[in-house]
A and B are shown apart, each in its own frame.
Chain A
Amino acid sequence: SQQGEEDPQALSIQEGENATMNCSYKTSINNLQWYRQNSGRGLVHLILIRSNEREKHSGRLRVTLDTSKKSSSLLITASRAADTASYFCATVRGSNYKLTFGKGTLLTVNP
């Protein structure tokens, strides 16, 4: 079964606006990661947040993790048309690096 569930499934915004995507999971985790996938391409690793961390920043990205609610959010600030892609959260439960992906959010940034 899917470990991660993202919402919304699709999000359409204007360039310059912020985009927020959420991810929920069901079991305890070692860390949670966010990936981006452009249509028909491979995945690009965006950010990793460990289970003992609550917030992390990387450029225009801000990730939060609430282990009590088993949820995470990805915020992209000042979005650009080039941010148009699918975004997936993925959880790691043990030390074997196996990733369990959520269903993803399709983000469209309109110029």
Chain B
Amino acid sequence: GAVVSQHPSWVICKSGTSVKIECRSLDFQATTMFWYRQFPKQSLMLMATSNEGSKATYEQGVEKDKFLINHASLTLSTLTVTSAHPEDSSFYICSATFPNTQYFGPGTRLTVL
């Protein structure tokens, strides 16, 4: 149990385009999901906290207009990287809390050309 999936697992896009990443909790409902970014050989940095039915809470330094987060249901949160640039290339990982443990998705590798 407590499985979190992400889609897509990898994506390559052109600079200036937008990319949507989905995070789903498959066998449980999660009122809170988190989005992290991880650059090569570095740790995970929390980007935002996504709460179902309300606006996401962004960490300091994360542009909310660039990284749009929608948590429309108890099992789905989406992260949209708008007008992506090469410096946005990274590994994006989501997690969902149930009941007080975070379960992580497998991650999405984004490469912006």
Contacts and interface: CB of A to CB of B under 8 A. Distances in A.
A85 interface: no
A95 B16 CA distance: 38
B46 A98 contact: yes
A101 B100 CA distance: 17
B44 A45 contact: no
Most B C-beta atoms less than 10 A away, residue of A48, A88, A101, A102:
A101
Contacts of A78: none
Contacts of B91: 40
Nearest to B49: A98
A96 B43 contact: no
Nearest to B42: A103
B104 A42 contact: yes
A96 B48 CA distance: 12
Contacts of A43: 44, 93, 95, 104
Contact of B49 (A45, A88, A96): A96
Interface stretch (B62-70, B71-79, B105-113): B105-113
Contacts of B100: 97
Most chain A beta-carbon neighbours within 10 Å: one of B44, B45, B49, B91: B44
Interface of A: 2, 35, 40-45, 48, 88, 96-104
Interface of B: 4, 6, 32, 34, 42-46, 49, 91, 93, 95, 97, 100-107, 109
Given A44-B104, A45-B102, 19 more contacts: A2-B43, A41-B107, A42-B4, A42-B106, A43-B93, A43-B95, A45-B101, A48-B101, A96-B32, A96-B49, A97-B32, A99-B44, A99-B46, A99-B95, A100-B46, A101-B46, A102-B43, A103-B43, A104-B43
